[in-house]
Amino acid sequence: MRYLIKNGTIIDPANRVATIGDILVADGKVERLYDLADLHSDREPIGPDVEVINARGCVVAPGFTDLHTHLRQPGEEHRETITSVSAAAAVGGFTTLCARPTTHPTPDNAAAIRQLRELVAHFGSVRIDVIGALTLGNEGRILSEMRELAEAGCIAFSDGGRTIADAALMRHALSYAAALNLPVMVTCQDPSLAAGGVAHEGAVSVRLGLPGIPAAAEEAIVARDIALAEATGAHLHISRVSTAGSVALIRAARARGVRVTAEVTPHHLTLTDRWLLGWLEERNEIETGRAGAHPDLSLPSWLEPSLLPPYDSSTRVEPPLRSIEHVEALVAGLRDGVIDAIAVDHAPLALVDRECEYGIAPPGISGLETALALTLTLVHRGEMDIVNLIAKLTEGPAQVLNRSPANLRPGATADIVIFDPERSWVVDPDHFRSRGRNTPLRGQRLKGQVMLTMAAGKIVFRRDNFGRQGQAAPQPSRLEGILESEET
């Protein structure tokens, strides 16, 4: 099938392209890109066998890559399946997922890696790459046969969401990974400092009577692993950065030339620990005479923590949601390049997992379908430009994986997302394609929605009849007007 995507605002960070134009897709590849100048000149006829997709008012970009997805299958199909996670990814604009080694059996041997790759090839509608387990069973005691895992096709190594407490073992792991030229994706949380904690250590955890996890629990391991990466020359990738101190450590390490990259999640960029208070925060506003003020003045008005009850288990994540000072540091680190990528940390859970006390609820957010809209709040607040944001979902993840970034250059694989950055919608987890309904965003009004996703030239998601002939096109976006005026 051939497609002509017309009149879109084309943003391709890898090629430094931001223009109004058309894209012709054929045989799973980008065949031609027509920029604004081409649109005002005569050009060859496209032919009758092409479906025209009207993308006026929308952004057309390379498909997104998520570095941090929990597949659940095999082993926990009641939480998610490869089919459902692929569908959720397509709704969110993600055409490549990197599966963390948290399935059962653990992908800690070559046979398990090959089996998982066969499963995702058969059931997945988007590309799914496999990350191998750094230690047997993710137990942090015995290293896996890392070379065999690499030869079986894993793209990196990780111990899922666990921290390897043994520094000597971590050093050996980094040394082996350096020889294989594959990144080690680490979770940084000192188990002795974080033991029993479920919330960020601060005023909110004290008020709610919840055991806290100090920022130092993360920063101590970040500092340790950076020192070990510097000693071994390995590529260290720090997953789910959540504190200002971690950003500072990564910044200093990169200045010294240490091979370290980092990711941050949408929820750590936009939500704070005040979300644990839910409507208690709104009541506090009234009692203190500050009614009408938003609990977090830096957050956009359409994000409203008071829609939640206090102690809502949907806010239970690891690392925990931090205070506003940490959130501001994370946004600054993402904006200036210290943090390379936005990673969803999609962790779908079954309903029964969350019907319990806050302290014993498993952590995780089902985030693939809300990731774009949540991170677009940074653009709508003026804290980040949209080209840089898209780069953190495309070019940044590719650099972490030592790959050429996805792009819209002729000849490139047609992994494409079309989204309307101005479209307003209300989050309803009951309509998620993912089996996981665990999100603190239920009922929140977000701005920005994926309209169509194309993986290897095949449409894997289309919202309603978006772009078809005879359908009303979205209104021109503010960004489109800016680009047109710049071209003029």
Does 68 count as an annotated binding residue? yes
Q: Are residues 130 and 198 in the same domain?
A: yes
Q: Give the domain range for residue 388.
A: 63-407+429-439
How far CA 60 is from CA of 117, 275, 421, 460, 478, in Å, comes to: 30, 33, 11, 15, 15
Going from the C-alpha of 186 to that of each of 97, 183, 190, 202, 474, the distances in angstroms are: 17, 9, 12, 25, 42
Which residue has tokens 């603190």? 440
Asked if 24 and 70 sit in the same domain, the reply is no
Residue 95 lies in a domain: yes
- Tens-digit pLDDT profile for the chain (488 aa)? 899 999 999 999 988 888 999 999 999 999 998 876 665 555 655 677 899 999 999 999 999 999 999 999 999 999 999 999 999 999 999 999 999 999 999 999 999 999 999 999 999 999 999 999 999 999 999 999 999 999 999 999 999 889 999 999 999 999 999 999 999 999 999 999 999 999 999 999 999 999 999 999 999 999 999 999 999 999 999 999 999 999 999 999 999 999 999 999 999 999 999 999 999 976 555 444 444 444 444 444 458 898 999 999 999 999 999 999 999 999 999 999 999 999 999 999 999 998 899 999 999 999 999 999 999 999 999 999 999 999 999 999 999 999 998 899 999 999 999 999 999 999 999 999 999 999 999 999 999 999 999 999 999 999 999 988 655 455 555 555 445 444 43
Task: Please tell me the total count of domains within the chain.
Answer: 2
166 is an annotated ligand-binding site residue:
no
132 φ/ψ angles, rounded to the nearest 5 degrees: -85, 150
Would you say residue 444 lies in a domain? no
476/327 same-domain check: no
Structure tokens at 405: 């970034």
- Annotated binding-site residue? 364: yes
> How far apart are the C-alpha atoms of 435 and 77, rounded to whole Å?
9
In a domain, 395, yes or no: yes
Whole-structure pTM value: 0.92
pLDDT of residue 67: 98
238: CATH: 3.20.20.140
Residue 294, annotated as binding a ligand: no
Residue 372 forms part of a structural domain:
yes
- Residues 224, 249 within the same domain: yes
Do 54 and 67 lie in one domain? The reply is: no
Instruction: Kindly state whether residue 415 falls inside one of the protein's structural domains.
Output: no
- Do 369 and 457 lie in a common domain? no
239 & 371 share domain? yes
Quick one: pLDDT at residue 160?
86
Q: What residues are annotated to the active site?
A: 345
Are 113 and 238 in a shared domain? yes
Residue 14 within any structural domain of the chain: yes
**In which region does residue 64 sit, left (phi positive, over 0), alpha (psi from -120 to 50) or beta (all else)?**
beta
Q: What's the pLDDT at 74?
A: 95
Is residue 363 annotated as involved in ligand binding?
yes
Q: Provide the pLDDT for residue 468.
A: 83
Q: Is residue 419 part of a domain?
A: no
Does 283 count as an annotated binding residue? no
Contact 263, 343 (CB under 8 A): yes
Strand order in the sheet with 127-130: 64-69, 94-99, 127-130
306 in the same domain as 157: yes
Same domain, 139 and 266: yes
Domain co-membership, 172 together with 190: yes
> Is 337 among the domain residues?
yes
Q: Supply the CATH number for residue 20's domain.
A: 2.30.40.10
77 and 208 in one domain?
yes
The residues near 248 (Cβ < 8 Å, ≥ 6 apart) are: 329
pLDDT at 204: 96
